[in-house]
Amino acid sequence: MPASPDPSDPPGCVQWPLPQPWPPQTSELRLGVMASGEGSNFEALVAACREGPLRGRVLQLVVNNPGCGAQGRAERLGIPCELVDHRQHRSREQLDGALIEAFAPCGVDLVVMAGWMRIVSPRLISAFPSRLINIHPSLLPSFPGLDAVGQALAAGVTLSGCTAHLVNTDLDGGPILAQATVPVLPGDDRNSLAARIHRQEHRLLPLAVALAAARLRDRTAAAADPSPPAGPPSG
- Asked if residue 35 binds ligand GAR (CB under 6 A), the reply is yes
Interior angle at CA 153, CA 151 and CA 156, nearest 5: 110
Handedness of CA 142, 146, 148, 150 (dihedral sign): negative
Q: For ligand GAR, how many residues bind (rule: CB under 6 A)?
A: 16
Smallest distance from ligand GAR to CB 198, Å? 6
Question: Please, are residues 160 and 136 in contact by the beta-carbon 8 Å criterion?
Answer: no
Q: Is 202 a catalytic residue?
A: no
CB atoms within 10 A of CB 77: 16
- Asked if residue 64 binds ligand GAR (CB under 6 A), the reply is no
- Asked if residue 55 binds ligand GAR (CB under 6 A), the reply is no
Angle in degrees, 0-180, between the axes of helices 190-224 and 40-51, rounded to the nearest 10: 50
Closest alpha carbon to 153 in 204, 197, 202: 197
Site string for ligand GAR, 125-164 (x = CB under 6 A): ----------xxx----------x-------------x--
Q: Which one of 4-12, 22-30, 36-44, 74-82 is the stretch in contact with ligand GAR (CB under 6 A)?
A: 36-44
Q: Which of 96, 109, 188, 201 binds ligand GAR (CB under 6 A)?
A: 201
- Asked if residue 203 binds ligand GAR (CB under 6 A), the reply is no
Site string for ligand GAR, 82-121 (x = CB under 6 A): --------------------------------xx-x----
What residue type is assigned to position 106 of the chain? C
Closest alpha carbon to 22 in 170, 210, 223: 210
- Asked if residue 54 binds ligand GAR (CB under 6 A), the reply is no
- Asked if residue 40 binds ligand GAR (CB under 6 A), the reply is yes
- Asked if residue 173 binds ligand GAR (CB under 6 A), the reply is no
Q: Which of 15, 41, 160, 179 binds ligand GAR (CB under 6 A)?
A: 41
Q: Which is nearer to ligand GAR, 146 or 221 (CB)?
A: 146
- Asked if residue 72 binds ligand GAR (CB under 6 A), the reply is no
Catalytic residue among 86, 89, 136, 165: 136
Between the alpha carbon of residue 192 and those of residues 2, 59, 82, 163, the distances in Å are 21, 32, 31, 18
Sheet arrangement for strand 159-166:
14-16, 176-183, 159-166, 132-136, 110-113, 29-35, 56-63, 81-83
Long-range contacts of 6-11 (CB under 8 A, 24+ apart): 6/199, 9/182, 9/199, 9/200, 10/182, 10/183, 10/185, 10/196, 11/183
- Binding site residues, ligand GAR, CB under 6 A: 35, 37-41, 114-115, 117, 135-137, 148, 162, 198, 201
Residues acting as catalytic residues = 136
